[in-house]
């Protein structure tokens, strides 16, 4: 069989994470591993009514093929949300995608030839790593600090790559409450990144799935809203603020970019389901979307607070974590020498689960890190789960220090 | 901007067809152009009830992420349909795709490096051409006869390509009521194709969207059912027999192939919408699927009969067409010298539309051909539309013969 596979297929493997997640689904385990939103936040009553109505009254459209660009009413609704964010775009500058993962796939296909360089955060979203690697890109990781990417390091790396004749295409970032680290970029760093992109003539891909989920801190403009040169491609999804089971997202970019992305989408899936587009459109039209998102923020704020409290209370010295102002995740860094993958089975024994950090690092580092989601567990489970996890960590540290003494 | 686009993006254009289709949607035009099924065949009442129930009773699953492989209950239902077709496969050998277009995209990514050869029918499905070209494949067309591909020509071409050191990966065919030509392969040719694939060590991609829509003639086994060597990858969709707005299809292949396809799908869209998967699953579970498809067959049989009658009655000498035993399309070949693209605006003037044939030919031929869909128009519109079209053809032939005399 091997002779048939393409070069890119040889490089691509199933995500370690998705395989590990299978172990975490036993009901007795308190899992901070999943990347999914809390189903309690899904507006299921509204969506059930809309679904029945949209199918009955409108089946010739809602059950038929859609256009590749996507439902025009839905695009209008999403442009309005974008406008409230300071992003001005028209109908030719937006395309509906089968969730943001497809946006990443289409970006990879549209821009990346084998060997092309993409700059990413260390750590960054695994789905982006997979999409870019599937098109045989070379991913270069730049350290993520508390307020965004280390821009000096980025500048230095770009210069070095240029000197070696590498062909760079874009910088991929998740500036708001990043998956996995929960970090938010400062406005200063956002402006700095755009300066670098302009100087070095690079595109910027801004992935913003968690941006609406800010439950603390002051607003900071998106890169796309700050963009004066049309360099930023903006990915926006309803997965975390409506329901991931609809697979509805949008990509906003220049006309030239959107035109190519639409051509690529024709070859990828022709169109996103008309039915789930209709559900999203009608929810946005008929319901109080901002009020709905505010309820989700309150839900995650409470859970984050509980997780931060518990970490403070139970974790031993030397363990550090981020304090996210939004999103679903926080990021834990254990002392050097701890390997969260090796520790994983011990956590499962104690009936608590997390996601190992290393797969989020394109440079092979991050073995002492882990991602914790506060989205799914109840506040009580969060308390108890962190207590268990702290025990595991303490044992691991004790074992390490014994080994060190020997 | 141009410097940013990948090589493959430079090759990919929006489908001419989808652009032409925009002109055909004025209500006064009788259109045989669309590739969509008749919305009257959608079981909308059942789907409306299922949607409301699946969201209300089961939102934590139906609105959440699905697995990449797809809903296990839906995979079981589809395996049962496949089994009734003589195709034996297990849960590790099937993956749900976001309709068959995604199946084609994932196959292209999994198998095709730039320059790899794929053998296709002349004419063949445009979505497949787009998906394979997007991965920079070299498409080689083999003439489609009334009972399937010209296998002698295929054999000769493979030998010639081999002698030149070309790297061939698979043969792509739509053996049942093909889009665009409406042709069905004989059992003899199916067995012959499998022999060639075995001799030459090639894979076979069998795209079967119209296979369940046989309304005349005797059953002929699918390539996948005849396959003894695990060379066939089978694409099966619910778009034409349930509703395209759900975007639900499946790919059946060996474990090794499905494993790679699943890894590629993680990078492409993570998962197909859980909601539309749930709708398909529950429809297949609770309703009389075979009875439902039988009604669709009766609908299209009547429309095909009406179109064949009208063609017989109105078309001038020298015009030939296929007599499909299933599916949605028939294929018209006009005398040499007629150019259906040049004739297209004249047809629109007469308020009738078709799809030009040339884009379905990877070798640049087919300028005197057109595809007619009998799926959407009513029987009365079919009669009137063919009458109008025949007038256009007669005028075109008269103009041609005048030009020839000068």
Q: For chain A, how many residues are written? A: 406
Q: How far, in Å, CA of B312 to CA of B387, rounded? A: 10
C-alpha closest to that of B271 among B11, B69, B90: B69
* Domain at B185, CATH number: 3.40.640.10
Widest CA span of chain A, in angstroms? 75
- Any chain A CB within 8 A of the CB of B263? yes
pLDDT (0 to 100) of residue A17: 72
Nearest CA in chain A to B7: A113
- For the stretch A324-344, pLDDT in tens is 999 999 999 999 999 999 999
Ranking A232-246, B18-32, B44-58 by mean pLDDT, the lowest is B18-32
Does residue A402 surpass a pLDDT of 90? no
| Mean pLDDT of all residues in B215-225 | 97
Q: How far, in Å, CA of B180 to CA of B164, rounded? A: 31
pLDDT (0 to 100) of residue A80: 97
Same domain, A270 and A313: no
- Domain end among A232, A257, A288: A288
Q: Which two tokens stand for residue A145?
A: 């600090």
Same domain, A37 and A50: no
Nearest CA in chain B to A204: B4
- For the stretch B303-336, pLDDT in tens is 999 999 999 999 999 999 999 999 999 999 999 9
Does residue B406 surpass a pLDDT of 70? no
Omega within 30 of 0 (cis) for the link into A3: no
**From the CA of A11, how many Å to the nearest CA of chain B?**
10
Interface of B with A in 66-95 (CB under 8 A): 66, 68
- Any chain A CB within 8 A of the CB of B378? no
Same domain, B176 and B79: yes
* Domain at B372, CATH number: 3.90.1150.10
- Domain end among A254, A288, A322: A288
- For the stretch B16-50, pLDDT in tens is 776 777 777 788 999 999 889 999 999 999 999 99
Contact A9 B110 (CB under 8 A): yes
**From the CA of A175, how many Å to the nearest CA of chain B?**
21
Same domain, B15 and B68: no
Contact A59 B39 (CB under 8 A): yes
Strand order in the sheet with B320-321: B320-321, B329-333, B369-373, B355-356
DSSP class per residue in B32-58: ----PPPGGGS-HHHHHHHHHHHHHHH
Contact B9 A109 (CB under 8 A): yes
- Any chain A CB within 8 A of the CB of B125? no
- For the stretch A331-379, pLDDT in tens is 999 999 999 999 999 999 999 999 999 999 999 999 999 999 999 999 9
Q: What is the DSSP code (8-state) at residue A316?
A: P
Query: Could you tell me if B267 and A101 are in contact, meaning their C-beta atoms sit under 8 angstroms apart?
Result: yes
Cα→Cα distances B385→B30, B33, B36, B354, B382, Å? 6, 11, 18, 10, 5
Contact A5 B246 (CB under 8 A): no
- Any chain A CB within 8 A of the CB of B12? yes
Q: Interhelix angle for B274-286 vs B72-84, to 10°?
A: 50
**From the CA of A174, how many Å to the nearest CA of chain B?**
17
C-alpha closest to that of B243 among B50, B24, B33: B50
| Mean pLDDT of all residues in A259-282 | 97
- Any chain A CB within 8 A of the CB of B275? yes
Split into its structural domains, chain B has a count of 2
- Domain end among B262, B288, B314: B288
Query: Could you tell me if A382 and A310 are in contact, meaning their C-beta atoms sit under 8 angstroms apart?
Result: yes
ipTM attached to this prediction: 0.96
Q: Determine which of B13, B45, B55 to mutate to test the interface with A (most A C-beta atoms within 10 Å).
A: B55
- Any chain B CB within 8 A of the CB of A131? yes
pLDDT (0 to 100) of residue A176: 98
H/E/C letters for each residue in B325-377? CECCEEEEECCCCCCHHHHHHHHHHCCEECEECHHHCCCCCCCCEEEEECCCC
**From the CA of A239, how many Å to the nearest CA of chain B?**
9
Cβ atoms within 10 Å, residue A317 = 6
Same domain, B112 and B257: yes
Domain of residue B36: give its range. Answer: 2-42+291-405
Nearest CA in chain A to B135: A109
Alpha helices per DSSP H over B15-172: 16-21, 44-62, 72-84, 99-111, 126-134, 151-163
Same domain, A21 and A98: no
Query: Could you tell me if B330 and B345 are in contact, meaning their C-beta atoms sit under 8 angstroms apart?
Result: no
Per the listing, tokens 């474990």 go with B255
Secondary structure (3-state) at A64: coil
* CB nearest B112 (choices: A6, A45, A112): A6
| Mean pLDDT of all residues in B56-76 | 96
pLDDT (0 to 100) of residue B202: 97
pLDDT band, very low/low/confident/very high, at B135 (cuts 50, 70, 90): very high
* CB nearest A109 (choices: B1, B8, B110): B8
Same domain, B190 and B50: yes
């Amino acid at each position: 069989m091997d002779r048939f596979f393409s070069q890119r297929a040889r490089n691509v493997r199933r995500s370690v994470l998705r395989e590990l997640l299978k172990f975490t689904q036993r009901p007795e385990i308190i899992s901070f591993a999943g990347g999914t939103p809390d189903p309690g936040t899904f507006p299921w009553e509204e969506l059930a009514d809309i679904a029945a109505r949209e199918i009955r009254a409108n089946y010739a459209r809602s059950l038929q093929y859609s256009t590749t660009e996507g439902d025009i009413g839905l695009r209008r609704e999403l442009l309005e949300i974008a406008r409230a964010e300071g992003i001005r775009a028209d109908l030719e500058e937006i395309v509906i995608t089968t969730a943001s993962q497809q946006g990443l796939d289409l970006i990879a296909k549209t821009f990346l030839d084998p060997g092309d360089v993409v700059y990413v955060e260390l750590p960054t979203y695994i789905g982006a790593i997979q999409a870019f690697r599937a098109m045989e890109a070379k991913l270069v990781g730049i350290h993520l600090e508390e307020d965004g990417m280390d821009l000096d390091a980025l500048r230095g790396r770009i210069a070095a790559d240029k000197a070696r004749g590498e062909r760079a295409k874009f910088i991929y970032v998740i500036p708001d409450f990043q998956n996995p680290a929960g970090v938010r970029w400062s406005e200063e760093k956002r402006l700095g990144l755009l300066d670098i992109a302009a100087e070095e003539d690079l595109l910027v891909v801004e992935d913003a799935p968690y941006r609406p989920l800010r439950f603390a801190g002051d607003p900071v403009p998106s890169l796309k809203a700050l963009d004066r040169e049309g360099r930023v491609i903006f990915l926006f999804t309803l997965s975390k603020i409506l329901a991931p089971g609809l697979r509805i997202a949008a990509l906003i970019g220049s006309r030239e970019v959107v035109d190519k992305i639409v051509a690529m989408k024709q070859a990828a899936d022709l169109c996103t389901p008309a039915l789930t587009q209709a559900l999203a459109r009608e929810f946005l039209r008929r319901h109080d979307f901002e009020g709905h998102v505010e309820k989700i923020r309150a839900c995650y704020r409470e859970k984050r607070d509980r997780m931060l409290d518990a970490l403070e209370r139970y974790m031993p010295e030397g363990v550090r974590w981020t304090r996210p102002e939004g999103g679903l995740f926080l990021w834990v860094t254990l002392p050097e020498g701890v390997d969260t993958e090796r520790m994983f089975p011990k956590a499962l024994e104690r009936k608590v689960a997390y996601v190992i950090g290393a797969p989020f690092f394109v440079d092979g580092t991050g073995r002492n890190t882990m991602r914790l989601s506060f989205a799914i567990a109840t506040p009580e489970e969060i308390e108890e789960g962190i207590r268990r996890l702290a025990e595991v960590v303490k044992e691991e540290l004790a074992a390490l220090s014994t080994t060190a003494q020997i």
